[in-house]
């Protein structure tokens, strides 16, 4: 495996922020780390990047133990949530910053920087100050600055959190393109499940400093291994160890009776709250399907699955 994390533990003042975490990544793999606030996502990235000292565990990148190396010795680049750009420098100065420490001549560094501008669709922006850029443009500069040193591993901590929905979608495509262009392995922390579903080869779901499940998006969604994963990813109706996703409830003349007690227009979907055998169930239907009014009785069927 290209990246191996073995039994990583990090304590802050005796409180374990992450406990005995192990996982690995193949070369070129994109792994997304999902989990609620405070579950230890940033702690994992900072441990791998070398910005904090770990208490226990091993970090192996491309066959080499790196847990004792300084951050700049690790061949890893990080894009922080706040981008961390230099506000007084221009776009190109920001992008080529990391080459200073790699004994590049200025002229060669600028040539490399210009190539990066092309890859990131930032041609024409080189002499602007980063404070004059939009959030999405700053995001791309931050990526460029991380990638120019050709790291083996790219760590991204909530990199799209300041972007609107459309820009987010195009940055996801951009990231996949960058992965293919540079053959780079990525660890991507996000709050956004759609980010994870659309770009991750595998997803790690975390809770309270521990890993709940590592799996493909489909397996996480269809075969959640714990009740935490089930409830954290998407939404679900749960009854005594069995669950059904809201979109898997079907309306059918052969079904059993339920009463519509609420409904909400969600754009592409309509979300219904049903009273079914005395319990509340959430049902999702596409907006072009037959619509039901609050108070009406309908017939539904579903297959509950074991968690
Ligand atoms: N420098 C620190 N000193 C003490 N405790 C810390 C420090 N940094 C993080 N923690 C604690 O460690 C735990 C994990 O924090 P971490 O920043 O890794 O969470 P996170 O999953 O990245 O959360 P978020 O989604 O809010 O960014 C939290 O309980 C946090 O309060
Ligand atoms: Mg964090």
Domains of the chain and CATH, by start: 3-229 (3.40.50.300), 236-306 (2.40.50.140)
Pocket test for ligand 1, best of 16, 17, 41, 204 (most atoms within 8 A of CB): 17
Instruction: Supply the pLDDT for residue 102.
Output: 82
pLDDT tens column, 251-283: 999 999 999 999 999 999 999 999 999 999 999
Classify residue 104 by its DSSP letter.
Answer: -
Strand partners for 129:
90
Residue in this structure with the two tokens 């792994």, named with its chain if needed: 31
Read off φ and ψ for residue 189, nearest 5 degrees: -95, 130
Instruction: Supply the pLDDT for residue 171.
Output: 84
Instruction: Supply the pLDDT for residue 90.
Output: 95
CB atoms inside a 10 Å sphere around CB 48: 24
Q: Which atom of ligand 1 is nearest to the CA of 81?
A: 27
Instruction: Supply the pLDDT for residue 192.
Output: 86
Alpha carbon of 221 to ligand 1 centroid (Å): 26
Closest Cα to atom 4, ligand 1: which residue? Answer: 12
Q: Where are the beta strands (DSSP E) in the chain?
A: 3-12, 15-25, 30-34, 56-61, 64-65, 76-79, 153-157, 185-190, 202-207, 210-215, 237-239, 242-244, 250-265, 269-276, 279-286, 297-301, 305-306
Instruction: Supply the pLDDT for residue 161.
Output: 79
Closest ligand (CA of 35):
1
Q: Which atom of ligand 1 is nearest to the CA of 45?
A: 18
Read off φ and ψ for residue 138, nearest 5 degrees: -60, -40
pTM of this prediction? 0.90
Instruction: Supply the pLDDT for residue 119.
Output: 83
Closest ligand (CA of 36):
1
Rounded Cα–Cα distance for residues 227 and 263 (Å): 26
Pocket test for ligand 1, best of 14, 43, 54 (most atoms within 8 A of CB): 43
Per-residue pLDDT of the chain (307 residues; tens, 9 = 90+): 999 999 999 999 989 999 999 999 999 999 999 999 999 999 999 999 999 999 999 999 999 999 999 998 999 999 987 778 999 999 999 999 989 888 889 999 999 999 999 888 899 999 999 999 988 889 889 989 998 988 999 999 988 877 778 878 888 888 898 899 889 999 999 988 999 999 999 999 999 999 999 999 999 999 999 999 999 998 999 998 899 999 999 999 999 999 999 999 999 999 999 999 999 999 999 999 999 999 999 999 999 999 8
Instruction: Supply the pLDDT for residue 237.
Output: 95
Instruction: Supply the pLDDT for residue 6.
Output: 98
Q: 40: part of which helix (H) or strand (E)?
A: none
Q: Which atom of ligand 1 is nearest to the CA of 46?
A: 18
Instruction: Supply the pLDDT for residue 50.
Output: 97
């Amino acid at each position: 495996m290209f990246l191996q994390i073995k039994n990583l533990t990090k304590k802050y003042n005796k409180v374990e922020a992450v406990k005995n975490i192990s996982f690995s990544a193949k070369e070129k793999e994109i792994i997304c780390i999902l989990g609620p606030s405070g579950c230890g996502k940033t702690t994992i990235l900072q441990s791998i990047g070398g910005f904090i000292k770990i208490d226990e565990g091993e970090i192996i990148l491309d066959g080499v133990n790196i847990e004792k190396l300084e951050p700049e010795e690790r061949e890893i680049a990080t894009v922080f949530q706040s981008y961390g750009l230099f506000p007084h420098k221009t776009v190109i100065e920001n992008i080529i910053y990391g080459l200073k420490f790699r004994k590049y001549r200025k002229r060669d560094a600028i040539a490399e920087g210009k190539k990066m501008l092309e890859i990131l669709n930032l041609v024409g922006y080189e002499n602007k100050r980063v404070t004059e850029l939009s959030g999405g443009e700053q995001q791309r500069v931050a990526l460029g600055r991380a990638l120019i040193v050709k790291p083996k591993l790219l760590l991204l901590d909530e990199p799209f959190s300041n972007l609107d929905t459309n820009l987010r979608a195009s940055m996801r495509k951009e990231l996949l393109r960058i992965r293919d262009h540079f053959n780079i392995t990525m660890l991507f922390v996000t709050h956004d499940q759609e980010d994870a579903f659309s770009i991750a080869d595998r997803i790690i779901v975390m809770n309270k400093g521990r890993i709940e499940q590592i799996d493909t998006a489909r397996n996480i969604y269809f075969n959640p291994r714990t009740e935490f994963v089930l409830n954290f990813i998407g939404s679900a109706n749960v009854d005594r160890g069995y669950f059904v996703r809201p979109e898997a409830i079907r309306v059918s003349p052969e079904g059993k009776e339920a009463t519509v007690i609420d409904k909400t227009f969600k754009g592409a979907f309509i979300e219904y709250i049903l009273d079914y055998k005395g319990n509340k169930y959430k049902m999702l239907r596409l907006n072009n399907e037959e619509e039901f009014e609050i108070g009406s009785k309908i017939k539904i069927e579903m297959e509950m699955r074991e968690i």
